[in-house]
Amino acid sequence: MRTSGWSRLRGLAAIEDCAIRRVVVSLQITYKYLPPGAEPTDDELSRAELVSIRQVEDAEETPRQDVGEVIRVADHRRGDEERSFKVVMVSATPTFTGFVGEPYTTMVNNINVYVTDVE
């Protein structure tokens, strides 16, 4: 079956109207210090000291930061000296993105890793 030239043109116009949209959100990991014995309550978390901020490159795999794990991080409070910390809590700050007529997509762009001294 042959289609008229008009039908083909209308189809192309419809394709042009449907632009593909991609949003790239860079990932940032923020390491925050809680004193030993501090409970991870909202009040304590709001007073946590900034230890380090790390930008994760697009091609880099997102590092896993599990509670109880001992990690090494550059401590900005001590001249970027690399120190060992124990992970106390991990939380993500979601970013909601979407376009008119499209369902919303949740993307994580910031991970807060709360750490304390290694016992």
Kindly report the pTM of this predicted structure: 0.67
The predicted structure's pLDDT at residue 56: 82
Integer Cα distance of 111 and 53 in angstroms = 10
What does the domain layout of the chain look like in residue ranges? 24-117
Integer Cα distance of 119 and 111 in angstroms = 24
The predicted structure's pLDDT at residue 49: 96
For 16-28, give one letter per residue: b (16+ CB within 10 A) or e.
Answer: eeeeeeeeeeebe
pLDDT in tens, 35-85: 998 988 999 999 999 999 998 876 667 777 899 999 999 999 999 999 999
From the DSSP assignment, how many helices (H) and strands (E) are in the chain? Answer: 2, 5
pLDDT surpasses 50 at 15: no
Question: Percent of the chain scored above 90 by pLDDT?
Answer: 41
Rounded average pLDDT over 93-113 = 67
